[in-house]
Amino acid sequence: MRRSRLPVLLAALLVALGAAGCTPPCQELGDRICNCLPQGQVRNNCKNNVKARVKASSLSGSEQDYCDGLLATCPDPDGNTIACAYLETCPGKVACGLALPPPGGGDGCTAIQPAPLSSSDVF
């Protein structure tokens, strides 16, 4: 999968969390995923989208705990190309909340389908 798909997967993660955004732990998770995008406008747009969704949301404690749990399993790329390559794998996507493990185990995973974004989601 190409890295240009990461913003779509990030949107899917945010939708899967049950709101248009997240609390600060979820923003950190989103920023980790965005950090695997090329530096510049693409990465900035990704982070701005995450920030806007966080600002617009109000998640329950269990949803915040979910993000905290994902922070423990999703590697922080911070310049680490190995972490970004891991994020492209099925186990990496599951670890970062971008995919669900297959029912009953196995090596595959199920991508989380994103909802369409509107201009109000971005600004």
Residue 33 structural domain: 3-122
120: CB partners within 8 A, 6+ apart: none
Cα–Cα distance between 42 and 24 in angstroms, integer?
A: 21
- The model's pTM: 0.68
Per-residue model confidence as pLDDT tens digits over 8-50: 555 545 444 444 343 479 889 999 999 999 999 999 999 999 8
pLDDT at 7: 54
Domain total of the chain? 1
Per-residue model confidence as pLDDT tens digits over 65-107: 898 999 999 998 886 889 999 999 999 999 999 998 877 766 6
Report CA dihedral (45, 88, 15, 114) to the nearest 10 degrees: 90
- Inter-axis angle of helices 24-34 and 6-16, nearest 10: 160
Burial group, residue 8, by CB count within 10 angstroms (0-12, 13-18, 19+): middle
